[in-house]
Amino acid sequence: MSQVGIRLAGNALRHELVEMGVSNSESESVIYDYGAGVEGSQHASLYREVLTDIHGSNSVSSQNIRLTTLDSDLNDLGKRIAILKIDVEGHEKAVLEGAQKILSTNPPLAIVVEFNEMNAISGSHYRDFTSLIGPGYNPYRLLPGGTLLPLSTQPSLYTEIYAYQNLVFLRKVL
């Protein structure tokens, strides 16, 4: 059992561990991680270049995995989603593509998306995220200390920044 599985085992009534990747379709894929005995690092990604080009690793391992979508896994949840946090090492756009039904029928109050140089490798942009999440949300950059910087009126020069950051989308009050 993975370390995450061990931590969640004591909270079985509140959490369910689903050992699959998340994407825009249900399929098989390969996930890459550091080689030489490293298992489950925080940099594991569906993009090999995240490890080789960004983190400079000369040793990369691969493992076959199953992918699902948030729509297929959360569709029958029956509960309100408060916060959706997406941090998948460059694959955020595909996860949002696979969450379109949830975003329209059970929109979370807040969506937090990591956005950095890994998104340059996967070819996804801030503009993609705002388009997929839709006009029902106000976008912000989470600054150190918890301050939110509004992004809705910022030009592309200030939004397409491929450096470590978290984007926060807060649902508009209707």
How many domains does the chain fold into?
A: 1
Residues 6+ apart with CB under 8 A from 151: 126, 139, 140, 141, 158, 159, 167
pLDDT at 7: 54
pTM of the model as a whole: 0.86
pLDDT at 121: 93
Question: What CATH number is associated with residue 127?
Answer: 3.40.50
Can you tell me the distance from the alpha carbon of 66 to that of 73, in angstroms, rounded to the nearest whole number? Answer: 13
Q: Can you spell out the DSSP letters for 146-157?
A: S-EEE-TT--HH
Can you tell me the distance from the alpha carbon of 137 to that of 122, in angstroms, rounded to the nearest whole number? Answer: 24
Three-state DSSP class for residue 95? helix
Residues 6+ apart with CB under 8 A from 16: none
Can you tell me the distance from the alpha carbon of 21 to that of 138, in angstroms, rounded to the nearest whole number? Answer: 27
Nearest by Cα to 83 from 145, 91, 74: 74
Q: How do the pLDDT tens digits run along the chain, 174 residues long?
A: 455 445 555 555 566 666 778 999 999 999 999 987 777 788 999 999 999 999 999 999 999 999 999 998 877 667 788 899 999 999 999 999 999 999 999 899 999 999 999 999 999 999 999 999 999 999 999 999 999 999 999 999 999 999 889 999 999 976
pLDDT at 19: 73
pLDDT at 1: 45
Can you tell me the distance from the alpha carbon of 119 to that of 131, in angstroms, rounded to the nearest whole number? Answer: 16
**Residues of the domain holding 24:** 3-171
